[in-house]
Amino acid sequence: MSLYEKTAHELHELLQSKKISAVELTENVFDRIDEKENLIGAFLEITKKQALESAKKVDEKISRGEKISALEGIPCAIKDNICTKGIKTTCASKILENFVPPYDATVITKLKKENPIFIGKVNLDEFAMGGSTENSAYKITKNPYDVERVPGGSSGGSAAAVASGESIFALGSDTGGSIRQPASFCGVVGLKPTYGRVSRYGLVAYASSLDQIGPVTRDVTDCATVLNAIAGHDEMDSTSTNATVPDFTKSLIADVKNLKIGLPKEYFVKGIDAEVEKSVKDAAKVFESLGAEISEISLPHTEFAISTYYLIAPAEAATNLERYDGVSYGARVDGADVVEMMTNTRTEKFGEEVKRRIIIGNYALSAGYYDAYYLKALKVRTLIQKDFTDAFKNVDVILAPTAPTAAFKIGEMISDPLKMYLQDVCTVPLNLAGLPGISVPCGFTKNNLPIGFQLIGKALDEETILKAAFTYEQSQNFGGQVAK
């Protein structure tokens, strides 16, 4: 087995015991990038020189007999909407094509204390708006299991890099499923933490009340390890939760005896692919065989989640994207006066999907429509949150499909935005409720496309979903796989 195929915790043991060097590992991953990148297209920026310099320093530390952290010397990729000092952060948009942040996002500052090897920035749907990574201004990332299919989105570059062996782990962001859905499509593990659990400072804002940074990894153990590194209160983020951060790796115990798991009937309705439904229900049977108690539950307002999300998220996006006007930073397209300059800049440099969401958002917020659309959406959001609160009175976690289908073909949905938006049906309720969710591989279609389920937990209870996910993973053979 090549080094790039191993998990971070396996590689940590090899590094600590001096069976491999950090330089050897980093070069092995870059060799894999050389082999696969032209086919997959996961990266927007590769930082090989800095990575190898960092790896040498890790090896020097090991040679002195010093202990290294769990992520030290492990190659990782960062979604290109997370600010990295001195390294371009484009959000896969032409409007930020030459933007180099003067500071690091808090998650990068926290990761640097663990000293992983940053190997580059990975592709996404422009400003994280999309579910296929086809909306990038630079390239379409391909699914490592079938390069004619999408890797999911918006964190498609993060999931594809990990699934293909081009990175050992990655960071993504999740506004409406943007970590979990690509994790499902690419056969890896993806966690959306509780809203506020991980700082958003330095994450380029899409929808501020929904966005959350999280890990994309090979297995559940790596997921818990990365979450340890990035979680915690941050004074720079006013929405950051000042809650105690446990050691999430301590929850990795293979035991779900008497765990109450709810299956929401609204997630298994017409439109869900038969192979996906079977795989998720088979996973429920596995949990039952391991001692969990399975029961059907109802989340009655689920049917309104998509329309609620696609009013709230674009409204927040329209506000957040006002700053890209060609004046302070980012690209500028000249005009006869300031108004024409702003119009030209935004017309030429924003992609179609971003423009669409800005228009939807401004419409929802406009005089005469605010009460009818945006305010009503906020009220329905409260009802969706109450559904989960009521459900968690009777169950510990909720088990559901991550996405209604496996990965679809490139070009299949891009011309039909509504069809694309419906792909988010299983993931957006969590973001609206601010709850944690983890997507875990649970099988393959007859065409060898990965399928994932998601476990949904109570607010700030990542430990329970990690424990359940770990238990399932240990009983199966899906953890740590790399697409060939």
Q: pLDDT per residue over 99-115, tens digit each?
A: 999 999 999 999 999 99
Q: Which helix (H) or strand (E) holds 108?
A: helix 106-114
Position 391 scores a pLDDT of: 98
Name the average pLDDT for the chain. 97
- If you ran DSSP here, which 8-state letter would residue 427 be given? T
How far, in Å, CA of 477 to CA of 300, rounded? 34
pLDDT value at residue 329: 85
Before 154, cis peptide (omega within 30)?
yes
Q: Is 213 left (phi over 0), alpha (psi -120 to 50) or beta?
A: beta
What integer is the mean pLDDT of 194-223?
Answer: 98
- pLDDT band at residue 484, thresholds of 50, 70 and 90? confident
Residue 295: is its pLDDT beyond 80? yes
Does residue 270 carry a pLDDT above 90? Answer: no
Please give the share of the chain, as a percent, with pLDDT higher than 70.
Answer: 100
Q: Can you tell me the distance from the alpha carbon of 320 to that of 316, in angstroms, rounded to the nearest whole number?
A: 6
Sequence letter at residue 482 = V
For the chain, the helix, strand and coil percentages under 3-state DSSP, each to the nearest 5: 45, 15, 40
CA 177 vs CA 14, 152, 310, 331, 462: distances in Å: 34, 10, 13, 29, 16
pLDDT confidence band for 477 (50 / 70 / 90)? confident
The verdict on pTM exceeding 0.75 is yes
The answer on pLDDT for 272 being more than 80 is: yes
Whether 373 contacts 380, CB under 8 Å: no
Give residue-wise pLDDT tens across range 46-76: 999 999 999 999 999 999 999 999 999 999 9
Sign of the C-alpha dihedral, residues 7, 12, 18, 24? positive
Residue 140 tokens, joined: 């379409």
For residue range 326-340, list pLDDT tens digits in order: 998 899 999 999 999
pLDDT at 478: 75
pLDDT per residue as tens digits for the range 218-263: 999 999 999 999 999 999 999 999 999 999 999 999 999 999 999 9
Positions annotated as catalytic residues are 79, 154, 178
Find tokens 């709230």 and name the residue: 312
| Per-residue pLDDT, 328 | 83
Structure tokens at 101: 């942040």
Strand duo 169-173 + 189-192: pairing = unpaired
Size of the chain, expressed as the number of residues it contains:
484
Distances, alpha carbon 38 to alpha carbons 101, 117, 245, 302, in Å: 27, 22, 40, 40
- Name the residue with tokens 């948009």: 93
Rounded Cα distance, 398 and 411, in Å: 33
In this predicted model, what pLDDT tens digit does every residue of 139-194 receive, in sequence order? 999 999 999 999 999 999 999 999 999 999 999 999 999 999 999 999 999 999 99
Instruction: Give the span between the Cα atoms of 379 and 65, in whole angstroms.
Output: 58
DSSP for 229-283, written as a single string: HHBS--TT-TT--------GGGG--S--TT-EEEEEGGGSSTTS-HHHHHHHHHH
Task: Name the 3-class secondary structure at 115.
Answer: coil
Contact 181, 427 (CB under 8 A): yes
- At 191 the pLDDT is 98
CA 331 to chain centre: 27
Question: Model confidence at 479, in pLDDT bands (50, 70, 90)?
Answer: confident
Tokens at 271, concatenated: 């439109």
Helix (H) or strand (E) holding 305: helix 305-320
Q: Which two tokens stand for residue 376?
A: 């009503």
pLDDT band at 312 (very low <50, low <70, confident <90, very high): very high
